[in-house]
Amino acid sequence: MTEVAFVLGTRPEIIKLSPVIRSCDRHGVDHAVIHTGQHYSERLDSVFFDRLGLAEPEVNLGVGSGPHGEQTGEMLRGVERVVTDVDPDIVVVQGDTNSALAGALAASKMDPEIAHVEAGLRSFDRSMPEETNRVIVDHVADHLFAPTEKSEKYLVREGVPEHRITVTGNTVVDALERIRDVARREATVLDDLGLATGGYLLMTAHRQENVDDPDRFRSLLDGAAGAGREHGLEVVYPIHPRARGKIEEFGIDVPAPVRTVDPQDYLDFVRLLSASAAVLTDSGGVQEEACVLGVPCVTMRDNTERPETIHAGANRLSSCDPDRIRRAVTEALDTDGAWENPYGDGGAAARILRALPVSTEIDEVVR
């Protein structure tokens, strides 16, 4: 019988669950990895698993993209079938994706207990599909691993019993501790793209509410370009395939000095992020990574489920208004990156595994 089954489907989930999976490997905890295929770039996924020191998943459902209901329904069917075959004691999901939702819902109708890594995040914006996902997963989970005390307070306020909640820190710190020095030594992306440390702004934008709205997407690009021109910095944009497709569909001319480049594997992305003057993003994970790496961040959204980054002084909300983006970038560039990291000491994976009812005694030092 398998003790733990990890259900994941996107690159952020692979990154953030990798420390927990490696901890299972070190301690001989019998586990399986079920990949839904929600992010369906075989090349990038293979590189991610290799660079993060993980074996290939036992199962890849290959669901791919599609409308939310169709995608989630396909995942539910596939996860239920595989969980029946694997027969785990615990199903672990991470974050707020459709893969996390499907994994938790499927397991909630079956025998395994459910563990949610990165529980308790809230944007309080129910128009975001991710907010619906994370709330539902939290309320069917048996073990909720909150990255911060603020996340724990949100869960308690919603009526989640305190004995189900463990504050662990964020596994993104564990992952970055392993990869950032390797990226500095081995990644060639700066030379490949002709970039100098501190000589560019990094940008990511892929969220549905931003790139599916042509006016909002144009405003976002105009704001990033304006900030780049104002500070004499190129804006490097590793463009998500979805966003590239929308640029073509809407006939958007990407303004200089924004330069679109191909998506990067994790090692190269961490190097790009850590060497940038600042990052402009709509990604929750990038907000965390920038905060941990000491890189000032501007979040091109109306809200964030990572308020700790704002309170630390690492992050600013700009919405997609071009003037607000430019002002936020100016403020960000005036910071020194000396804020206190709110996401813990890199011992989150050990805390998570210790809290799960597995047969092996976990003797890792929790810092």
How many CA within 13 A on the CB side of residue 119? 32
Q: How far apart are CA 18 and CA 172, in angstroms?
A: 9
Q: How far apart are CA 45 and CA 323, in angstroms?
A: 37
Given 31, 35, 143, 206, which residue is catalytic?
206
Q: How far from 124 is each of 9, 15, 129, 263, CA to CA, in Å?
A: 24, 25, 11, 30
Q: How far apart are CA 79 and CA 32, in angstroms?
A: 12
The 10 Å CB-count burial string (b at 16+, else e) for 132-162 is: ebbbbbbeebbbbbbbbebbbebbeeeebee
Q: Report the number of secondary-structure helices (H) and strands (E) in the chain.
A: 16, 13
Sign of the C-alpha dihedral, residues 207, 49, 68, 62? Answer: positive
For tokens 């309320």, what's the residue? 139
| 206 a catalytic residue | yes
Catalytic residue ranges: 206
